[in-house]
C-alpha cells in the first residue's frame, strides 16, 4: 500500500503547524571514561588528611664471620622511615531547574539522574589523572591539598630515557632495575598507545595457533612473560605526558592502594528556588607501602620503525 505525500505531511506536522525534527531517543557519548588504576587498586579507609606510614629496609648481604667466643658489641640499628601523602578533595556540582525537570526530553527520563551520573564519571576521570600525575601539596587556608601520584611518588626506580627507544632488550633492563632494588614483583604495566604497540611487536618466541576458517590475525600482547615474572600490559590514556612523550608505569599492586577519607558519594542539596541542586564529592590519596615496588619511566621513544605516528 502506497502512502501519499499528504499522509506523510499530516503525520509529521505538530499541532502548531511546525514539522517535528527527527531526533532519536538516545544520547551518545563516546569520550574516554575508563579508569584502570582507580578500578584495580585496593581501597582502604584513612582517618587523617596527612596520611603517614612506616617503611624499612634490610642491610645488604655481607660476609658475616666471627671468632669463637666473641664478646658482645653494640650493633648499629637503623629505624624505620616515615612516609606520607596528602588526601585531595574532588568535587562537582550541578542543578536542574523545575522547568527542565518537567519538560519532555529525548534520551533521558530523569534529567537530574542523568547529570548526576555524568558528574560521577567525570570526577572519577579526574581521580584517575591525579593517581598518575598528581603533585603533592600540603595546602593551607588559601591552597588546596593535592596528592602525589605515581610519577611523583616513585623515586628509586625512576628514569628518563628520552634518547633511547624501547627495544625488547631495554624493556628487560628496566625490569631488572626494579628487581635489583626490591623483592617486590611488578606485575602491571601501564602504557600509552605507542608503547602498547611497541610491546605487541616484540619478536618473542611465541607461536599463535589459530584455525584458518576464523580468518583472524592476532597483533596484540596483553600478557608478557619476562625473566622477572608475568606482566599484564594495560593501555592507559593518562600515562603519556603529551603527544610526543611516551612513559611507562610498572607496579606491584600489593604495595599500592587508594586511601579514602570520604568515599565517593552523591548528595541532594536543599532547594533554593525553582531548582534542584546536587553535589558529587570524594577525598582520597595514593598509599604506596614502598615506592621501590614501582617503576616510572618519564620518557622513552617507541620502537616501530615501519610506522609513522599520526600528529
Per-residue confidence (pLDDT) for residue 215, from 0 to 100: 43
Instruction: Determine contact, residues 256/154, Cβ cutoff 8 Å.
Output: no
d(CA 77, CA 74): 9
d(CA 194, CA 253): 24
d(CA 197, CA 287): 30
d(CA 264, CA 120): 8
Q: What is the pLDDT along the chain (311 residues), one digit of tens a residue?
A: 555 555 555 555 544 544 445 444 444 444 546 899 999 999 999 999 999 999 888 888 889 999 999 999 888 888 888 999 999 999 999 999 989 888 877 777 888 888 999 999 999 999 999 999 999 888 787 889 999 999 999 999 999 998 899 999 999 999 998 888 888 888 999 999 999 989 988 865 555 555 556 544 444 567 888 888 899 999 999 998 776 679 999 999 999 999 999 999 999 999 999 999 999 999 999 999 889 999 999 999 987 666 555 55
Per-residue confidence (pLDDT) for residue 307, from 0 to 100: 57
C-alpha angle 165-166-168 in degrees, rounded to nearest 5: 130
Per-residue confidence (pLDDT) for residue 263, from 0 to 100: 94
Contacts of 115 (CB under 8 A, 6+ apart): 94, 96, 278
Instruction: Determine contact, residues 195/300, Cβ cutoff 8 Å.
Output: yes
Per-residue confidence (pLDDT) for residue 33, from 0 to 100: 60
Per-residue confidence (pLDDT) for residue 244, from 0 to 100: 65
d(CA 131, CA 41): 10
CA distances from residue 41 to 140, 156, 283 in whole angstroms, order as listed: 29, 21, 16
pTM of the model: 0.80
Per-residue confidence (pLDDT) for residue 28, from 0 to 100: 46
Amino acid at each position: 500500500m502506497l502512502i501519499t505525500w499528504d499522509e506523510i505531511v499530516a503525520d509529521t506536522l505538530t499541532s502548531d503547524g511546525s514539522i517535528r525534527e527527527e531526533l532519536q531517543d538516545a544520547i551518545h557519548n563516546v569520550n574516554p571514561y575508563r579508569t584502570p588504576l582507580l578500578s584495580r587498586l585496593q581501597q582502604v579507609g584513612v582517618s587523617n588528611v596527612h596520611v603517614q606510614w612506616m617503611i624499612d629496609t634490610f642491610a645488604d648481604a655481607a660476609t658475616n664471620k666471627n671468632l669463637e667466643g666473641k664478646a658482645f658489641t653494640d650493633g648499629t640499628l637503623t629505624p624505620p622511615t616515615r612516609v606520607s601523602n596528602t588526601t585531595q578533595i574532588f568535587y562537582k556540582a550541578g542543578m536542574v531547574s523545575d522547568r527542565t525537570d518537567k519538560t519532555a526530553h529525548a534520551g533521558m527520563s530523569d534529567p537530574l539522574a542523568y547529570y548526576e551520573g555524568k558528574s560521577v564519571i567525570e570526577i572519577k576521570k579526574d581521580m584517575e589523572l591525579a593517581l598518575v600525575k598528581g603533585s603533592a601539596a600540603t595546602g593551607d587556608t588559601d591552597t588546596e591539598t593535592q596528592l602525589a601520584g605515581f610519577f611523583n611518588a616513585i623515586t628509586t626506580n625512576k628514569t628518563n630515557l628520552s634518547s633511547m627507544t624501547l627495544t625488547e632488550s631495554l624493556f628487560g633492563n628496566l625490569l631488572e632495575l626494579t628487581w635489583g632494588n626490591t623483592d617486590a614483583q611488578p606485575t602491571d604495566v601501564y602504557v600509552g598507545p605507542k608503547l602498547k604497540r611497541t610491546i605487541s611487536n616484540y619478536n618473542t618466541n611465541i607461536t599463535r595457533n589459530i584455525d584458518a576458517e576464523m580468518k583472524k590475525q592476532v597483533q596484540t600482547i596483553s600478557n608478557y612473560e619476562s625473566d622477572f615474572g608475568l606482566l599484564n600490559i594495560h593501555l592507559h590514556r593518562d600515562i603519556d605526558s603529551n603527544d610526543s612523550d611516551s612513559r611507562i608505569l610498572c607496579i606491584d599492586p600489593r604495595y599500592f592502594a587508594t586511601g579514602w577519607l570520604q568515599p565517593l558519594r552523591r548528595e541532594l542539596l536543599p532547594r533554593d528556588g525553582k531548582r534542584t541542586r546536587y553535589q558529587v564529592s570524594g577525598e582520597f590519596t595514593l598509599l604506596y607501602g614502598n615506592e621501590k615496588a614501582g617503576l616510572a619511566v618519564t620518557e622513552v621513544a617507541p620502537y616501530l620503525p615501519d610506522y609513522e605516528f599520526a600528529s
